[in-house]
Amino acid sequence: MVDLTKRNLFFRSKLQDSAARLPWLKQTDNFTDLCTRCGQCVDSCETKIIVKGDGGFPQIDFSLGECTFCYRCAKSCPEPLFLSQQQTPWNIKANISESCLAYKNVECRSCGEQCDTMAIQFKLAIGQVAQPSIEIDACNGCGACVSSCPTSSISVSNAV
């Protein structure tokens, strides 16, 4: 019997959809056609969160830190993949899963302390610890909250 999942190995456009791509990308649907995997964006990243992912293509790993929106990845890229720095970098937002310590009545505010835009606020609740709430419009998708979460309960993904 043939394992059909291995067929994706031969198709560059079938990369992991959940992988956060670089900020200011013009289009992500033809990213694998235009990116040469030179690694210049990886080398130039201020916070070293750009890593080589599936097929050697660059992706963001928020478990390593946050995006400071320094634009170095775009400046270093020899290909015409990026929008101007005046554009919105991306449309990704933070999400908190049910494994969050506060949801289990354990006091933790590490994500809120790391959020420069104050998109993560904690609301008092009767009979439990303060509960996290994300103001989606205030979230810039920097990912600072991801690496600070002790239970890996925060992910950053495309906003719906």
Question: Which sign, positive or negative, has the C-alpha torsion 98, 101, 106, 110?
Answer: negative
Torsion, CA 80, CA 60, CA 134, CA 125, rounded to 10: 180
Domain 17-89 and domain 92-158 have a common topology: yes
pLDDT along the chain (160 residues), means of 10: 48 48 85 92 97 93 96 96 94 95 96 96 94 96 96 89
pLDDT of residue 13: 40
CA distance 69 to 144: 12
pLDDT of residue 4: 44
H or E stretch including 131? strand 128-134
> Does domain 17-89 fall into CATH 3.40.50.280?
no
On whether the CB atoms of residues 106 and 130 are closer than 8 A, the answer is: no
pLDDT of residue 20: 73
CATH code of the domain made up of 92-158: 3.30.70.20
Does the pTM surpass 0.85? The reply is: no
Instruction: Give me the residue spans of the domains in the chain.
Output: 17-89, 92-158
